[in-house]
Amino acid sequence: MLNVPRIPDRIGYYFAGFVDGEGSFHLSFRRRRDYTLPWKVSLCLNVSQKDKVVLALFKRHLKCGTIRYKSDDVWMFEVNNLNAIHENVIPFFRRFGFLSAKKKRDFAIFRRMAELMKEKAHLDKPGIVELLKLRREMNDGGKRKYTEQEILAAFDAVESSETTRRTSSTC
What is the structure's pLDDT at 78? Answer: 97
pLDDT classification of 2: cutoffs 50, 70, 90: confident
Please list the residues that pair with 76 across neighbouring strands: 48, 68
Please list the residues that pair with 116 across neighbouring strands: none
Residues 79-96, mean pLDDT to the nearest whole number: 96
Query: Where does 4-166 sit in CATH, by number?
Result: 3.10.28.10
Domain regions of the chain by residue span: 4-166
Position 138 pLDDT exceeds 70 = yes
Q: Note the pLDDT tens digit of each residue in 104-117.
A: 999 999 999 999 99
Burial 31-40 (b: 16+ CB within 10 A, else e): eeeeeeebbe
What is the structure's pLDDT at 142? Answer: 65
Q: Note the pLDDT tens digit of each residue in 141-161.
A: 667 778 888 888 887 766 655
Q: Note the pLDDT tens digit of each residue in 88-104.
A: 999 999 999 999 999 99
Residues 1-11, mean pLDDT to the nearest whole number: 88
Q: Note the pLDDT tens digit of each residue in 21-77.
A: 999 999 999 887 776 778 889 999 999 999 899 999 999 999 999 999 988 899 999
CA distance 11 to 56: 13
Q: Are 66 and 77 in contact (CB under 8 A)?
A: yes
pLDDT classification of 166: cutoffs 50, 70, 90: very low
